[in-house]
Amino acid sequence: MAKSTKKFKDSDADFRKICSDISARKFAPIYLLAGEEPYFIDVISEKLSSSILNETERAFNQTTVYGRDTDGATIASHCRQMPMMGGYTVIIVKEAQAMPQLEQLAAYTANPLPSTVLVICHKEKMPDKRQALYKSCLANGVVFESVRPREYEIKDWLGGFVAQHGLQIDPNCTELMINHLGTDISRISNELNKLIVSMPEGNKRITAVEIENYIGISKEFNNFELCRAVATRDMKRAMTIADHLSKNPKQYPLLLTIMALFGTFREIFIVNYLSWMQQRKGVPFPSDQELLGHLKSSNIYALRDIKQYARLWQNSKVFNILGLLREYDGKSKGIDTGGKSEAELLRELLLKIFME
């Protein structure tokens, strides 16, 4: 099967369109919600679950089943039932990827009833696009492909999420949250929702103070500040921050810390390489907007810092550090740890970086 060319930004745009249609009560007879990123699938299915029927109608005409407990023929039978009250029968299939004989549903999706809304939640991967089920869902309903974001795509999404709620977020806070929460947009959205409902009335700007007060991410001891300390060769502060992080392993797992450090040194490597191209090959150094493209970033405010960091590190050393980070990425997953704790591994990693 050909590899999908769908991008995260495409999924996000499709997600917004589907949510807008649901809000306008424009319902399709079939929704095939599938792919690696569970957040979009969960939000769309929940919106459909709560929007199509009112509470009384749901008691009679809405059914939720789980793939591991049913099969395609049984679901097709549910879908062919006429609504007892209201205008729709709603069938929501969760964990459809675990359903035996899923393809049996194609007999129904090829000719769906206009009075039924069938929602198929197929997480982890897409169904086979060559099969009849996928083709009939595409022809007669809505097929949504949920793509997991890359790290560099999270910043724009997070800013957009905040903007939808009429708020602004400081650029350094965007970095702070991503370094703390990674690319899990379900977790990010949950934390942001908690923050948004806790914001004092009239306060429209999210700063490090709100992040610390309502999400619990320290504005002094976090992965963002650790990366800054390492990049500026402030060994004492880096070790102090690392000690704090190590005391909170659930909040600051080693893997996320390594990912944050890797992202910082990757950007340093790119800036240094472009400077080398300018000095040795006469290639003009890119403008700030062009440089953002090279870094796959939209944070114009972070450019000054990255340029300053790059002056402190030769690329021969950065290359070695990136190798170290790949090695300790494996250790963070339990490979060749030598019995060392995450705290010991982080301290050992930082010492090796500073020795470069």
Q: What is the pLDDT of residues 38-78, one digit of tens each?
A: 999 999 999 999 999 999 899 899 999 999 999 888 999 99
CB contact at 8 A, 117 and 28: yes
Residue 6 has pLDDT above 70, yes or no: yes
Residue 307 has pLDDT above 80, yes or no: yes
Among the ranges given (99-108, 234-243, 313-322), the one the predictor scored with the smallest mean pLDDT: 99-108
Report pLDDT for 321: 96
Q: What is the pTM of this model?
A: 0.75
Q: What is the pLDDT of residues 166-193, one digit of tens each?
A: 999 988 888 888 888 888 899 899 999 9
Identify the band that residue 3 occupies on the pLDDT scale cut at 50, 70 and 90. low
CB atoms within 10 A of CB 179: 24
Q: What is the mean pLDDT of residues 100-108?
A: 91
Give me the helix-helix angle, 223-231 and 303-311, nearest 10°.
Answer: 40
Residue 1 has pLDDT above 60, yes or no: no
Residue 216's nearest CA partner among 234, 190, 185 is 190
* Site of tokens 């060994």: 235
User: What is the spatial distance between Cα 253 and Cα 187, in angstroms, rounded to a whole number?
Assistant: 15
User: What is the spatial distance between Cα 273 and Cα 168, in angstroms, rounded to a whole number?
Assistant: 34
Question: Which residue ranges form the domains of the chain, and what is each CATH number?
Answer: 8-146 (3.40.50.300), 153-219 (1.10.8.60), 224-355 (1.20.272.10)
User: What is the spatial distance between Cα 122 and Cα 283, in angstroms, rounded to a whole number?
Assistant: 48
Q: What is the mean pLDDT of residues 201-209?
A: 88
